């Protein structure tokens, strides 16, 4: 505190209430192919229903649905999953006139917000053929209902015109807008009349007066517009918004509707997905609560299905910030109703999927604890173990054998799976199971083979809920696999011995007990306490929590006070873990013995934390001893 230069009282506070904080231990993560949703972006999902909403239904055919169901399996055990959608280099968002790749919102803002693309006025929100089911339609005062002018047909061109004559329409009734148009002459006769503003509010076709100082005799008749096919979905005809009316402008208001044309989103063709009423063509327009009412911003901020990518070609004043002008109507613009097309899903390669998993690599940006690879190949599994888990050191990776090793490989499963694990980095941050489960697909009333790595990760998360991270997720108490009709491979005792020795955790179907994870080893090959899931997760939890607390010691002095403060911070936390059966004993050393002068002069701070982790029971031996009648058990026991 500052020195006082004259008598007085100075009040200060010191906060000595710091504790080691709780840290997340049950956050899942996966990446893979999906048919919808943002690509190469981390999205947090809390339920299977939300998985459907954000990433679409599982694909109907092929193997793409395996990772989808692995994600759904994880969500059967807990409610926090971070998903990254990987996409093929051939993937495209459906567009109004052409396909375009917009991976996610950041990609849109950086590369498409200015409307410089060539795919037309709209694009599907996300890449994939699913976007081809979308139809977008809009209407303003010119096309909403039949009280505006659609066209004018020249019935007599007259003669003697040396310049285009003036075209005047009868005024619309009070509250309406008078139509306007221009004439075109060919030779000395009027050949066409183009409607520049179709007006609004006509109760019958208006008459046209054609005047000129040169020729005469031209005659044209009016054809009225028909109602917009979605007019019944809105309560009023779009004319001019209140904000633009107050500024002296006109004709800025429009309605927009998004339709599931083919029924791929909802199952019913023609279902209305979204409606946006009374939006404005003026870029400076605001609604009644001060939000932007500019149709581009409204679509980009609120639509779940489309992006804005350009104005209609005929819309010369749309997007103008001047609220005093008369905004173009869309008239007969081809963009008024469009079916989006040329969206492509594609299948991501191993490298593209690794790129998606790579978004989990930065532990400062993404908090994740349980990464499962779904149906990824071994190259992807190795990448996630080597480049993410081994670098972060605060999460675990869960893999399953390839389908070829475990599904319909009768008699050779154990050999194939052992050979497969031998190709991986033998890390204590990785776990391999033996199982593929046969799972009911309720979306298409069928069945699908699904790798069990999502389930094993889910068992770790559910163990956190019912016990603690340092309890084993295996066995009859906490290791029951959910939503499994049967296993592709249920190893017998001899095969379990082979698998477990190699570091593979068997998943076994026991009559009367269900399908159970029957092992809790990590993939670490050397004998160590870290070859067990519960020990590795214990240390991840301790290290993450204590490291989070330790960062508040940065830039403090390395003196006896700071060291004692840190020790008093850590020891109560470890005593709590000990009381919850996570460790047998511990010791914290943080004094002058390990913070020597050299350490202090190097601006370092050292604390040695010794832990005796609790061990899970893997082997039980029961000794039954038969004795003669009358013998004392104390003698036998001795």
pLDDT, residue 199, reads 81
Q: Are residues 521 and 440 in the same domain?
A: yes
In this predicted structure, which of 71-80, 306-315, 352-361, 385-394 has the lowest mean pLDDT? 306-315
- 606, burial (CB in 10 Å: exposed 0-12, middle 13-18, buried 19+): middle
**Which element (helix H / strand E) includes 259?**
strand 253-260
On whether both 48 and 121 belong to a single domain, the answer is no
Mean pLDDT estimate for the chain:
92
Q: Is 4 contained in some domain?
A: no
Q: Select from 339, 365, 399 the last residue of a domain.
A: 339
**Sign of the four-CA dihedral 622, 626, 631, 635:** negative
Q: Are residues 320 and 436 in the same domain?
A: no
Mean pLDDT for 262-284 is 95
Q: What is the pLDDT of residues 381-435, one digit of tens each?
A: 999 999 999 999 999 999 999 999 999 998 899 999 999 999 999 999 999 999 9
pLDDT at 332: 53
Residue 489 lies in a domain: yes
pLDDT, residue 540, reads 95
Total domains in the chain come to: 4
**215-237 tens-digit pLDDT:** 999 999 999 888 888 999 999 98
User: CATH number of the domain that 499 lies in?
Assistant: 3.40.50.11780
- Structural domain of residue 506, as residue ranges? 28-89+348-534
**Quick one: 135 and 153 in the same domain?**
no
What DSSP string describes 65-128? HHHHHHHHHHHTT-S-EEEEE---TT-BB-BSSS-B---SHHHHHHHTTT---SS-SEEESSSS
With respect to residue 97, please indicate whether it lies within any of the assigned structural domains. no
pLDDT tens profile 316-349: 899 999 999 988 876 556 688 999 999 999 899 9
Q: Which of 168, 202, 224 finishes a domain?
A: 224
Q: What was the pLDDT predicted at 1?
A: 58
Domain finish residue from 513, 534, 555? 534
Mean pLDDT score, 27-40: 96
Residues 359 and 277 in one domain: no
* Least confident span in 146-160, 295-309, 338-352, 616-630: 616-630
Return d(Cα 491, Cα 509) in angstroms, integer: 9
Average pLDDT over residues 446-463: 96
Same-domain pairing of 354 and 210: no
**Tell me, what's the pLDDT at 330?**
64
Give the range among 59-68, 188-197, 414-423, 527-536 with minimum mean pLDDT.
59-68
Each residue's pLDDT tens digit, 509-532: 999 899 999 999 999 999 999 999
On whether both 368 and 470 belong to a single domain, the answer is yes
pLDDT tops 80 at residue 485: yes
Residue 405 lies in a domain: yes
Query: Has residue 309 been placed in a domain?
Result: yes
Judge whether 554 lies within some domain: no
| Cβ-contact 479, 516 below 8 angstroms | yes
Task: Tell me which of 384 and 12 has the higher pLDDT.
Answer: 384
Question: Per-residue confidence at 638, pLDDT binned at 50, 70, 90?
Answer: low
CA nearest to 329, candidates 235, 224, 251: 251
State pTM to two decimals. Answer: 0.86
Q: pLDDT for 118-176, tens place per residue?
A: 889 999 999 999 999 999 999 988 788 878 888 899 999 999 999 999 999 999 888 77
Question: Which range, of 82-91, 190-199, 349-358, 380-389, averages the lowest pLDDT?
Answer: 190-199
Q: How confident is the model at residue 313, as a pLDDT?
A: 84
Pick from 443, 463, 619, 614: nearest CA to 542: 614
* Adjacency order of strands within the sheet including 216-224: 180-186, 189-197, 149-159, 216-224
607 lies in some domain = yes
Shared-domain flag, residues 216 and 233: no
Segment 60-83 shows an average pLDDT of: 90
| pLDDT of res. 3 | 74
* Domain shared by 137 and 286, yes or no: yes
135 and 166 housed in the same domain:
no
Taking only the tens place, the pLDDT of each residue in 578-601 is 999 999 999 999 999 999 999 999
129 in the same domain as 78 = no
Q: Are residues 510 and 446 in the same domain?
A: yes
Q: Is 470 inside any structural domain?
A: yes
């Amino acid at each position: 505190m500052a020195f006082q230069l004259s008598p007085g009282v100075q009040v200060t506070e010191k906060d000595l209430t710091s504790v080691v904080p709780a840290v997340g231990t049950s956050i899942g993560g996966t990446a893979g192919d999906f048919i919808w949703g943002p690509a190469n972006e981390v999205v947090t999902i809390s339920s299977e229903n939300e998985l459907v909403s954000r990433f679409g239904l599982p694909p109907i055919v092929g193997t793409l649905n395996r990772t989808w169901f692995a994600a759904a399996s994880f969500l059967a055990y807990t409610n926090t999953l971070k998903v990254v959608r990987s996409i093929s280099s051939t993937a495209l968002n459906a567009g109004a006139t052409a396909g375009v790749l917009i991976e996610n919102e950041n990609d849109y803002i950086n590369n498409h917000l200015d409307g410089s693309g060539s795919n037309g006025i709209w694009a599907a929100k996300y890449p994939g053929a699913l976007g081809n089911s979308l139809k977008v339609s809009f209407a303003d005062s010119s096309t909403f209902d039949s009280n505006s002018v659609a066209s004018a047909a020249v019935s007599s061109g007259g003669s003697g015109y040396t310049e285009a004559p003036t075209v005047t329409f009868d005024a619309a009734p009070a509250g309406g807008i008078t139509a306007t148009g221009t004439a075109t002459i060919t030779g000395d006769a009027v050949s066409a009349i183009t409607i520049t503003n179709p007006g609004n509010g006509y109760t019958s076709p208006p008459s046209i007066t054609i005047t000129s100082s040169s020729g005469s005799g031209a005659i044209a008749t009016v054809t009225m517009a028909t109602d917009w096919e979605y007019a019944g979905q809105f309560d009023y005809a779009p004319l001019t918004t209140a904000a633009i009316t107050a500024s002296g402008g006109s004709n800025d208001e429009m309605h927009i509707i998004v339709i599931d044309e083919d029924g791929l989103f909802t199952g019913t063709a023609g279902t209305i997905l979204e409606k946006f009423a009374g939006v404005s063509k003026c870029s400076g327009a605001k609604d009644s609560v001060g939000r932007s009412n500019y149709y581009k911003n409204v679509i980009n901020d609120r639509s779940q299905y489309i992006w804005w990518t350009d104005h209609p070609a005929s819309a010369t004043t749309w997007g103008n910030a001047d609220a005093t002008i008369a905004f173009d109507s869309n008239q007969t613009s081809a963009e008024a109703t469009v079916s989006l097309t040329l969206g492509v899903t594609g299948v991501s390669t191993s490298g593209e999927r690794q790129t998606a998993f790579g978004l989990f690599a930065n532990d400062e940006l993404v908090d994740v604890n349980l990464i499962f690879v779904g149906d990824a190949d071994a190259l992807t599994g190795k990448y996630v173990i080597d480049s993410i888990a081994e670098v972060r050191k605060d999460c675990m990776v869960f893999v399953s054998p390839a389908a070829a090793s475990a599904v319909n490989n009768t008699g050779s499963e154990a050999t194939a799976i052992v050979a497969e694990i031998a190709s991986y980095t033998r890390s204590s941050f990785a776990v391999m199971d033996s199982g593929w489960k046969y799972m009911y697909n309720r979306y298409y009333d069928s069945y699908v083979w699904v790798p069990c790595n999502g389930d094993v990760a889910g068992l770790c998360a559910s163990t956190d809920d019912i016990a603690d991270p340092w309890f084993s997720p295996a066995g009859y108490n906490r290791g029951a696999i959910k939503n499994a009709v049967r296993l592709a491979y249920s190893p017998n005792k001899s095969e379990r011995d082979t698998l477990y020795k190699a570091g593979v955790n068997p998943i076994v179907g026991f009559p009367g007990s269900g399908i159970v994870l029957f092992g809790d080893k990590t993939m670490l090959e050397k004998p160590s306490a870290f070859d067990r899931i519960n020990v590795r997760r214990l240390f991840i939890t301790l290290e993450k929590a204590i490291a989070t607390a330790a960062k508040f010691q940065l830039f403090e002095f390395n003196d006896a006070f700071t060291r004692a403060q840190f020790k008093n911070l850590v020891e109560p936390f470890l005593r709590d873990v000990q009381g919850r059966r996570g460790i047998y004993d511990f010791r914290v050393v943080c004094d002058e013995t390990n913070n020597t002068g050299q350490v202090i002069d190097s601006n370092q701070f050292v604390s040695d934390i010794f832990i005796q982790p609790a061990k899970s029971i893997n082997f039980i031996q029961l000794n039954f001893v038969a004795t003669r009648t009358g013998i004392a058990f104390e003698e036998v026991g001795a």
